[in-house]
Amino acid sequence: IVKSAISAELRDFVTQYALFDEMQNFSPEQMQGRHQVPDAHSVYADPAMESMLLHIQPIIEQATGLKVFPTYSYYRVYRPGDDLEPHFDRPACEISATMCFNYNYDASKYTWPIYMDGVKAVLEPGDMVIYRGCDLTHWRDEFEETSDNSWHVQGFFHFVDANGSNVKHALDGRSFIGQPKTLQNRSLPNKPYIIPV
């Protein structure tokens, strides 16, 4: 667990962004052909999250001692009744991080941990846990907090070991970071500019 992996200002900015995006562009997983959390607003390769993917890469490398290549980002807004079934991740998620951006419930009365091989990880806003998603079964029990307007915003950032057997999954089959799957076969007028880290 990396405590306060990002600043409070960045954490709060991304949280508000995600909640506005849920309101304006609600995209539940079931509409995308994904079914881990069917009714939750979830987004693959969102521009803000792809930026976060690059932003936290040095933190991942420092914490793991590995040189990593980014694969993709994802985020989800959980609401009461949502859960995450026990699962393993695909090879593009060899080295993963999940970050709690923020939540709207009283943490002194209720916590909503993620479990990895039965070990409970409770994340405070801005914390992230780094794990091997392909090797550890991970899940969340049902989000049971039912106070008015409860929510929990979580980001998922995936990498592969640059010197490992999953390196072919770098970029998750895309041409570059920031490219959504829907634009994979469409040429763009300009190559994206990525600020060097």
Question: Given the structure tokens 């593009």, which residue do they identify?
Answer: 92
Confidence at residue 63, expressed as pLDDT on a 0 to 100 scale: 97
Per-residue model confidence (pLDDT) at position 181 = 73
- The mean pLDDT value of the chain amounts to 92
pLDDT number for residue 66: 98
The per-residue b/e assignment along 34-60, b for 16 or more CB within 10 angstroms, e otherwise, is eeebeebbbbbbbebbbbbbbbbbebb
User: What is the rounded CA–CA span in Å between residue 53 and residue 45?
Assistant: 9
User: pTM of the prediction?
Assistant: 0.91
Token pair, residue 73, equals 């980002």
DSSP 192: P
- Nearest to 76, CA basis, from 34, 110, 115, 133: 34
**SS3 for 142-182, per residue?**
CCCCCCCCCCEEEEEEEEEECCCCCHHHHHHHCCCCCCCHH
What was the pLDDT predicted at 50? 97
What local confidence, expressed as pLDDT, does residue 180 receive? 82
Please answer whether residues 53 and 177 qualify as being in contact, where contact means their C-beta atoms are separated by less than 8 angstroms.
Answer: yes
Question: Quick one: pLDDT at residue 187?
Answer: 57
Between 194 and 148, residue with greater pLDDT: 148
Calpha distance 195→50 (Å, rounded): 12
Give residue-wise pLDDT tens across range 61-103. Answer: 999 999 999 999 999 999 999 999 999 999 999 999 999 999 9
Q: For residue 9, count other CB atoms closer than 10 A to its CB.
A: 8
